[in-house]
Amino acid sequence: MLLTRRLTFLAFPLLLAAAVASSVAPARADSPAAEWSRVLDAAKGQTVYWNAWGGDPRINAYIAWAGEQVSERYGVELVHVKLTDTAEAVARVLAEKSAGRNEGGAIDLIWINGENFAAMKRNGLLHGPWIEALPNHNLTDPANSPDLALDFGVPVEGLEMPWARARLVFYRDEAVLPEPPRSSDALLAWAKANPGRFTYPLPPSFLGTTFLKQVLLERASSVDALYRPVAEGDFASVTAPLWDYLDALHPHLWRQARSFPANAGAMRRLMSDGEIDIAFAFSQSEATAGIESGELPETVRNYVFDAGTIGNVSFLAIPFNAAHRDGAMVLANFLLSPEAQLRKQDPEHWGSATVLDLEELTPEQAKAFREMDLGPAAIPADRLGAMLAEPHPSWTDALEEEWNRRYAVR
Amino acid sequence: MLRAAPYLVAAILAGPVAAGALGALVPSFGFLPALGHDAFGLAVWRDLLSWPGIGGSVLLSFASGIVTAGLSLALAMLFLAVFFETRAFIWLRKAIAPLLAVPHAAAAFALAFLIAPSGFLARLLSPWATGWQRPPDLLIVQDELGLSLMAGLVMKEVPFLLLVALAPLAQIHAVERMRMARALGYGRIAAWFKTVVPALYPLLRLPIYAVIAYSSANIDVALILGPVSPPPLAVQVLRWSNDPELDYRLIAAAGAVLQFGVTAAAIALWVAAERILITLGRGWIESGNRTLAEQGLGLLGRVLFPALLLSAGLGILALGLSAFARVWRFPDPFPSRWTLEHWQSVGDTASGPLGATIWIALAATGLSLALVLAMLENERRTGRRAGRALELVFYLPLLVPQIGFLFGLVLLAELIGIAPGGGLVAAGHVIFVLPYVYLTLSESYRRLDPAWSRLARTLGHSESRVFWKVTLPMVFTPTLAAFAVGLAVSIGQYLVTRLLGAGRLDTVTTEAIALAAGGDRRLIGAWALTQAVLPVLGFALALAAPRLLWRHRRGMLGAVQ
């Protein structure tokens, strides 16, 4: 094991050089270091337009900090284009491609994963492969991190750089609900006993669809089918247990399921207003941040389902026609540095888990990651339970359409 | 030069709308080469019409267009009938500007927080009056019938209709009509509806169509107050265009075309109802009947108008309180812990967006005002009013749903090769600002007594000197009002700013809506108030400036409004 790892490590610079030579500058076959210094030179003075969801002031502040850092260190200016939905950026790139704008596009970097990535990749809207050229890419130990090579089951193929890990966690006020339901069955029983005190965000909002997948992963007749394209399996029979479950659950939901919160934020607000007793988020830090800002009671704590919860990785991608590719790469490389990843994991600033492999870091760096205080609401990493991988992205639309067919019509 | 003005304006307004509409129409028939769809067909339309819940979405949009317009018009007329020429009338005039200035999204947030089961009203009344320790599980906001949506829209559209109804009252001699009818023994309400409304209504027709179009196709209010499944059609179109599965862009395009159809159908139904009412109404007017439920309607008006003001005021107060709240749990009537944190976070990020908001609003409104003045001055000099068809073009951007043509517009800008950015955004704002400026200014301009300029001409002054020295000062007050309306419209624009600016340009509205996705009401409150402050300031200036400028010429103040 150790030996193979060594060998991969030795072979890596060669692979890297080959990748760089073929993708970034076809005519030249410089060493990776020389190639990277060319990128650094070209990036100087560029303004990178980074399209990233802008709904959380703490994430926005983190991005602003990163902007100051790359401006100081590399002379790269960063503009954070605050999206309400990542698909807006996808639509923009699509409009540009429709209009024949094959270079000088308006977007240089997108925070992306899952369906959006799958759609962009399928339609040839992405630049790359480019991530092997980043010096910090090695720190993720790509050879031994298969989960970073797949985005919702779609091969990443160097088209996007892993940036953050996310895990679905539930949270509730421990003072109100000391023993929360830790499985979908228990949740149903609890909802029957406490009508109107639970809900989930409206699919196709990201977190709403995630809840459907979480229940499906627990109850599906064949879990294997979920990791293959939906067309290859029997959608009706695989998902039947999910719909049976929802049919039973809906009458006991908030507003008898006649209305749903629009998104994750709206659900947290219901929790804050005391309208519901259980909520969930795609990050351990959401509840902690809520406590610190006074939005949620101080006794709110995270918990997970016994059978595990869904987790995924989110990435950074460069559109095929980006005007400031070099600047985007310099920024991405900085965001992958131990320094930037450590700050990102700090719940004080954001609280999003790192994608770096701690084995690849210096002992001091690794220690800083291991000993970080994750905040009052968080569960320690060793009690976070099993991580369930995201189903193949084709299931997302199929689930959303079927949900819509069953529950959107009155 | 001046002669070209109306055609220039028509081109500025109709060009982008037509291009944008084409950009929706073509993909709706299955043609979008960038996604590999290059064969025309009806498949997209079949998909659209078989979409679960599409019927509900269409009905909802249609109904909210008609009901909102009907209710808003009825209320506006009732308030005028009850309060015209009374002491409270001054209050009514004063209340319009701030009500109008609060952006739609902010007003919707305020209303949602006011009436929700865990909202401000429930908190004020709980638990002592209601017995609620926890919020009850009642579907009030985002109800399936869209009642809260329509209430939110009515709250914003009544002030708008009042504003456009007040302007021409002098022109149609409302005071004289009322006096005459009252002298003949008609009750106040019967007199208003029998003598003033028939003369006033034709002048309100286009603004009402604009209300129908906005109510049936708006996004910002519908996202906050509208039902979620199925949602109003425009929201569904937005969901399709935001779906990561890019092929949904085709359905989105067809949905946008359908939205055109729904809005057009709602207006058509209104026109038909108008005809019937006019026919039926003639008999009633001529019947000689002197009263119209005088006491009941009088009471209704006297109750509903303060109720409207109170709910707007309480809503804004609730939003303001939450902007300073650190901890505010149900059923506490007020926050238990306070903080300035949310305002600090606004302060940290607002300076850039504020600057951008202001310069874009000034540029777009300034350009619009210049064009409208050129057009109206041309009309005055030639003595010919723009034709009906041309006038309809001026209102086109208000009558056509935004969602229907903006994607096509982005495509067009890309094809021409205009880089997204501030200039393009400001130009895009002109499309929506200009009609409102025209709407608010044209009647006052037209009812200027031509004797003044004729007199100045006979004294040997040139046309342009007459314009600068006589005409413009006389319409200064309504010009400022139009300017303030234009600013408010520009400041409130979201979709245009996002799409034409490629998201690179942050205004207070795009910031507020981006953070609204995060769901923290306290922060939303702070941003919504920031967003509302600018247009309110604009209106305050528009009200104060003439008083300062004409403080030695009181006649100038009385001349208008």
The confidence score (pLDDT) of residue B387 equals 73
Of the candidates A205, A188, A6, A168, the one whose C-alpha atom is nearest the C-alpha of residue A86 is: A205
Q: Is A77 helix (H, G, I), strand (E, B) or coil?
A: strand
Separation of alpha carbons B274 and B411, rounded Å? 38
Q: What is the mean pLDDT of residues A270-281?
A: 96
As given in the structure block, the two tokens for residue B56 are 């509900």
Residue A266 with chain B: CB contacts under 8 Å: 519
Q: Which residues of B243-273 are buried (b: 16+ CB within 10 A; e: fewer)?
A: bbbbbbbbbbbbbbbbbbebbbbbbeebeee
As given in the structure block, the two tokens for residue B280 are 């039926």
Residue A113 with chain B: CB contacts under 8 Å: none
Separation of alpha carbons B62 and B213, rounded Å? 9
DSSP per-residue string spanning B311-349: HHHHHHHHHHHHHTEEE--TT-SS-SEE-SHHHHHHHHH
Separation of alpha carbons A241 and A231, rounded Å? 18
By Cβ distance, the residue of B36, B341, B502 closest to A106 is B502
Residue A17 has pLDDT above 70, yes or no: no
User: Sorting pLDDT into bands at 50, 70 and 90, what band is A146?
Assistant: confident
Chain A contact for B132 (CB, 8 A cutoff): no
A374-388, A393-407, B461-475, B547-561: range with lowest mean pLDDT: B547-561
Distances (CA, A) of A345 to A265, A335, B240: 21, 12, 34
Residue B349 with chain A: CB contacts under 8 Å: 60
Task: Supply the ipTM of this predicted assembly.
Answer: 0.87
Separation of alpha carbons B237 and B217, rounded Å? 10
CATH topology of domain A2-165+313-378: D-Maltodextrin-Binding Protein; domain 2 (3.40.190)
Q: Which residues pair with A311 in a beta bridge?
A: A167, A389
Residue B52 with chain A: CB contacts under 8 Å: 404-405, 408-409
Of the candidates A90, A61, A73, the one whose C-alpha atom is nearest the C-alpha of residue A331 is: A73
The confidence score (pLDDT) of residue B556 equals 67
State phi, psi for A151 to the nearest 5 degrees: -120, 105
| Largest CA-CA distance found in chain A, in angstroms, rounded | 69
Separation of alpha carbons B44 and A33, rounded Å? 51
Separation of alpha carbons B383 and B454, rounded Å? 12
Cβ-proximal residues to A21 (8 Å cutoff; 6+ apart), any chain: A28, A29
On whether the B1-43+340-561 domain is CATH 1.10.940.10, my answer is no
| CA of residue B172 relative to chain centroid, distance | 24
pLDDT tens for residues A38-59? 999 999 999 999 999 988 888 9
Separation of alpha carbons B450 and B474, rounded Å? 12
DSSP label of A220:
-
A110: enclosing H helix or E strand: strand A109-112
Is residue B62 within 8 Å of residue B178, measured between CB atoms? no
By Cβ distance, the residue of B36, B326, B511 closest to A294 is B326
Chain A contact for B329 (CB, 8 A cutoff): yes
Separation of alpha carbons B536 and B98, rounded Å? 6
Residue A30 has pLDDT above 80, yes or no: no
Residue B244 with chain A: CB contacts under 8 Å: 86-87, 90, 114-116, 118-119, 396
User: Sorting pLDDT into bands at 50, 70 and 90, what band is A310?
Assistant: very high
- For residue A204, whether the previous peptide bond is cis, meaning omega lies within 30 degrees of 0, is yes
Indicate if the alpha-carbon torsion angle A384, A388, A389, A390 is positive or negative: negative
CA geometry: angle A279, A283, A288, nearest 5 deg: 75
Mean pLDDT by 10 residues, chain B (561 residues): 82 86 86 80 92 94 97 96 90 82 88 94 92 92 94 94 85 91 94 94 88 91 90 91 79 91 95 94 89 91 93 93 94 94 88 92 96 91 78 82 76 73 90 89 82 89 89 87 90 86 83 80 90 87 80 62 40
Separation of alpha carbons B397 and B433, rounded Å? 9
DSSP label of A126:
B
3-state DSSP helix/strand/coil % of chain A, to nearest 5:
50, 15, 35
By Cβ distance, the residue of B56, B135, B410 closest to A273 is B135
B480 CA: distance to closest CA in chain A (Å):
34
CATH number of A169-311+385-407: 3.40.190.10
Is residue B256 within 8 Å of residue B421, measured between CB atoms? no
Pairing relation of β-strands A300-303 and A150-151?
A: unpaired
B514/A83 CB distance under 8 A = yes
Q: Where in chain A are all domains bearing CATH 3.40.190.10?
A: 2-165+313-378, 169-311+385-407
Q: Which of B520, B522, B523 to mutate to test the interface with A (most CBs of A within 10 A)?
A: B520
Rg (CA), chain A: 22
Of the candidates A108, A137, A164, the one whose C-alpha atom is nearest the C-alpha of residue A334 is: A137
DSSP per-residue string spanning A303-367: E--TT-EEEEEEEEE-BTTBS-HHHHHHHHHHHTSHHHHHHHH-TTTT--B--S-GGGS-HHHHH
Exposed/middle/buried for residue B390 (C-beta within 10 Å: 0-12, 13-18, 19+): middle
Residue B241 with chain A: CB contacts under 8 Å: 87, 91
Q: What is the mean pLDDT of residues A107-128?
A: 93
By Cβ distance, the residue of B56, B411, B518 closest to A55 is B518
Question: Domain map of chain B by residue range?
Answer: 1-43+340-561, 51-339
Residue A155 carries which side chain, given as an amino acid letter? P
Q: Which residues pair with A315 in a beta bridge?
A: A112, A162
The confidence score (pLDDT) of residue A251 equals 97
Question: Helix crossing, A184-193 with A206-219: angle to 10°?
Answer: 110
A184 CA: distance to closest CA in chain B (Å):
23
The confidence score (pLDDT) of residue B557 equals 59
CA geometry: angle B510, B511, B515, nearest 5 deg: 115
Q: Is B65 helix (H, G, I), strand (E, B) or coil?
A: helix
Question: Helix crossing, B233-241 with B197-217: angle to 10°?
Answer: 30
Residue B419 with chain A: CB contacts under 8 Å: 106
Separation of alpha carbons B512 and B319, rounded Å? 13
By Cβ distance, the residue of B116, B341, B506 closest to A82 is B506
What length does chain B have?
561
Pick the CATH number of B51-339 from 2.60.120.260, 1.10.10.10, 3.40.50.720, 1.10.3720.10: 1.10.3720.10
The confidence score (pLDDT) of residue A410 equals 58
User: Sorting pLDDT into bands at 50, 70 and 90, what band is A20?
Assistant: very low
Q: What is the mean pLDDT of residues A109-115?
A: 94
Average pLDDT value for chain A:
89
Whole-number percent of chain A with pLDDT over 90: 71
By Cβ distance, the residue of B327, B415, B523 closest to A99 is B415
pLDDT tens for residues A285-298? 899 999 999 999 99
Q: Which long-range contacts (CB under 8 A, 24 or more apart) does B123-132 make?
A: B123/B330, B123/B331, B123/B332, B123/B333, B124/B333, B126/B330, B126/B331, B127/B331, B132/B331
A209-218, A383-392, B537-546: range with lowest mean pLDDT: B537-546
Pairing relation of β-strands B31-32 and A309-317?
A: unpaired
